[in-house]
Amino acid sequence: MSVNQEIKPITTEINEKGHLCIGGCDLVELAEKYDTPLYIYDEDTIRSMCQEYKKAFAKYEKSNFMFASKAFMTKALCAILKEEGFGLDTVSGGEMYTAYSAGFDMSHVLLNGNNKSIDELEMALDYNIGRYSVDNFLELALLDNLAKSKNKIVDIFLRITPGIECHTHEYIQTGHLDSKFGFDLTQLDEAIDLIKEQYTNLNLVGLHAHIGSQIFETQVYYDEVGVILKEIRRIKEVHNIDLKEINLGGGLGITYTEADVPPSVETIADVIIRSIEVHCKEYNLEYPAIYLEPGRSIVGTSGVTIYTIGSSKQVPKGRRYVAVDGGMADNPRPSMYQAKYTAVIANKANEESNEEVTIAGRYCESGDILIRDIKLPHPEEGDILCVFNTGAYGYSMSSNYNRTLRPAAVLVKNAQSDIIIKRETYEDLVSDDEIPQRLSSKIMIEN
């Protein structure tokens, strides 16, 4: 079974105390040592998933893997990905800076995004990143002008909307025609003419498409390859440009609950490679280099979040709400996407789950519900709740809502735990606050 088809990290086990362990570390002890809420990442699961991608695509030599940094981005993760031979798909100056400060090879970094700032484009040029995925006409002009000013020629993809809709949440569909991302296919000729005639510091190497996120279908990948290669054939005929690269984005789904049945990495690889073979033969094209941008499938299953259970409320003839010390500020996905999760009580891992409860967050929003109607072993104050598959889009989408502190993150392996993100302090929280002089002087007088 592929790692993305598992609910729990691959090192998950129950010890002699009846406690849940990941990476050889007792989660109850981690809660005591680092406090909660706490993000926990299993290094073996991350590496295993990276290796699955490399193995699945091994028979296609021109394969490149660019981790989608938006899923989770830290310097420690950059170090792991560098060792595993992955590049990075970035979408901001912050993500590029994280990679750069971690000593990542910036030639293996791609900059994506639908509204890159001038500062971000300049940063990318100064860092000598390897690829740009250009999203619109304004960016073509900006990037060419900046590259010219620095006497550089840069390699670019043109991002297109292939007109493929996958059956996922509408907020995470990106490949359909009515999308904020990329050029419509009817706009490509104009963009290519500009590159050929005016934007001489841009070197067009290929096309990029991304069809969505948390994808369970396989045909969409086959169709995506077909649309891109058909367009590459047309570009060759019309513009006499022989594009050698295609970027297929990412989007492979993971298993959050037993109801989720995503395909394996091997299945996706077979579909993509078969489509390349079929369509290259049909269009008389050389096999292109392919770029893939997995994010959620690399880190999602590796991560869990642990919470301490606090108050509870029994609604007469209704639900029992059990509150934890976190919620929508450390994991907004249930509130934003109605995302569903699986959880266990880490200190009661051997006990029967026979009581149905709803897990509520601590934040001042009625929609702050982490999990609805889950069966657990009688939850009590002080229990440690472990929510699985929070490795992607938990920390990266977290906030200081209600002026709370963002949690710490630890990396576990071989019974060792290491901090990879420090827990915020109240001093951190107010470190960027400023009181204007006209107000601070009044405060001093009153005091």
Q: What letter represents residue 389's amino acid? A: N
Q: Taking Cα atoms as reference points, which of 350, 361, 412, 322 lies closest to residue 34?
A: 412
Q: Which helix (H) or strand (E) holds 374?
A: strand 369-376
Rg from Cα positions in the chain: 24
Whether the link from the prior residue into 262 is cis, omega within 30° of 0, is no
Q: Which two tokens stand for residue 349?
A: 């891992």
Burial class (CB in 10 A: 0-12, 13-18, 19+), 296: buried
- As a 3-state breakdown, the chain gives helix, strand, coil percent values, each rounded to 5, of 35, 25, 40
The CA-atom distances, in angstroms, between 103 and each of 77, 78, 411 are: 12, 8, 19
Can you tell me the distance from the alpha carbon of 177 to that of 187, in angstroms, rounded to the nearest whole number?
Answer: 12
Q: Which two tokens stand for residue 75?
A: 């310097």
Q: Which two tokens stand for residue 276?
A: 């390349």
Q: How many helices (H) and strands (E) does the chain have?
A: 13, 21
| Residues ≥6 apart with Cβ < 8 Å to 267 | 218
**Which sign, positive or negative, has the C-alpha torsion 393, 130, 277, 222?**
positive
DSSP string for residues in 65-133? EEEEGGG---HHHHHHHHHTT-EEEE-SHHHHHHHHHTT--GGGEEE--SS--HHHHHHHHHHT-SEEE
Given 21, 50, 280, 364, the catalytic residue: 364
* CA 92-79-270 angle, 5° bins: 80
Q: Which two tokens stand for residue 286?
A: 């050389």
Q: Which long-range contacts (CB under 8 A, 24 or more apart) does 11-19 make?
A: 11/42, 11/44, 11/45, 11/412, 12/42, 14/349, 14/350, 18/347, 18/348, 18/349, 18/350, 18/351, 19/346, 19/347, 19/349
Contact criterion met (CB below 8 Å) for 96 and 124? yes
Q: Which helix (H) or strand (E) holds 31?
A: helix 27-34
Can you tell me the distance from the alpha carbon of 254 to that of 298, in angstroms, rounded to the nearest whole number?
Answer: 9
Q: How, if at all, do strands 63-68 and 87-90 pair?
A: parallel
Q: Is 386 in the active site?
A: no
Catalytically active residues are: 364
